[in-house]
Each structure stands twice: as C-alpha cells, then as structure tokens.
Amino acid sequence: SCALQSLFGATPDRSCGASDQVQCLWEGTWIHYQIQTGLLPNDGGTIFHQYIRALNWAIPTLVVVVIGDNIPVNMSGTLYVTIGIVLGVTINAAIIGNIANLVANLEGTLARYREKMDTFEHFLYTFSIPTALQQRTRNYLEYVAEVDEGNHSRFVDEMPMTLRVEVSNFLKLKLVKATPFFGLCDVAVQKNLAALLKPQVYSPRS
C-alpha cells in the first residue's frame, strides 16, 4: 500500500490552474480514477486519505485475487498490481496448503485414536470388565494418546545400525550405569543392554 501510494500516486503540481484541477493535478494516476468515482475529494485528499485507499486495495489483493475500486491507469501501475496479485496468490497457496496438510494429519491421528477407543470399548463390553478397572484402562489410553507413545522409538528403529547404537548409548547408557548391578559390568555389556532397552509408558498413579 505504501508503494502504491508513493510510486503511483504522483506528487501534484499545486501551481496548476483551478479551472480543471482534477485533470491537471492527478491525471494518469489511480488517484484520478478515485476522484472521478467519488472515492477521494477533488484535490486528491491528504496523504492519509490516499494511504487508506491504497491499504484498502493492498489487503484484499494479498488475501484474495481482487483489485477492488483501485484500478491502475498506467503501465507501471499495472505491472506493480500484477506482481502484487501474483504474490498474493502464491502466499495464499502456501498458507492454504500448509493448513490443509495440518488438518489432514490431525484428522488421521484423531481417526486412529477413535478406532482404537471403539475397539477398546467393545472389549470392555464383551468381557464385562469391572467399572473401576475400565476407568483405569481408559485413563491409560488417554494418557498414551497425549504423550504420543512410541514415536521416538520408531524414529530410532528406522535408523541405520551404527546411528541406532550411538543414539541408544546417548539416551540409555546412563540409565544402565545408574543401576547398581549393571553399573559394575563391562562397558561393552552396558552398551548392549542399552541397545535392548525399550520405552514403556505408564499412566500417572499406576
């Protein structure tokens, strides 16, 4: 909007005669078009008025492909507006694409969770699990869904063997060394034990 106002609004020549002020001061600019359509006063308005009109064009152009009541009247202005429209379309495509991917991922995760809970509820009904035990198992499944159990371990499992060993040593070797019995073992044994450790999730108060 600043560029539209400053580059293509032009600076009026106040020495023009008063007989045809509109034609003399602003002819060949978008401000002249705004004056003709009654959107700006005959003297072109203040810089603030012109900036507001330019801003009124810039925001819709970036959000949707629309020019509105600001229409370029020369080649330089037309080129600028065209670039603005292309930029707006590109930004919108990127934003909408990212939002669509985010919604799709959320829906996929939610669908898997609902399917798992439906299967679980059927299991509870089929085997007449006591109410108190039902609630404890529900709490566990909800807690597992919140912490997204297993993702990190899957990442590690998909790594090459050398990287998997190094990551396991970094994450788990200190746990093995902190255990009184295994802390006395050879380092090679400790590393093998660290590689065999698997994460387990327990709900609070389990």
Domain locations along the chain:
2-73, 151-205
Mean pLDDT of residues grouped by 10 in the chain (206 residues)? 55 50 62 74 76 77 66 76 82 85 75 83 88 85 70 69 82 87 86 82 70
The pLDDT tens digits of the residues spanning 35-67 come to 777 777 777 678 787 788 778 777 777 777 665
Contact of 195 with 168, CB cutoff 8 Å: yes
Please, what is the average pLDDT of the chain?
A: 75
Give the global pTM.
Answer: 0.40
Gap between the Cα atoms of 89 and 62, Å rounded: 7
Half-sphere exposure of 116 (CA within 13 A, CB side): 13
| CA 205 – CA 107 distance, rounded (Å) | 30
Specify the pLDDT at position 34.
74
User: Pick from 12, 3, 8, 5: which is nearest to 52 by CA?
Assistant: 5
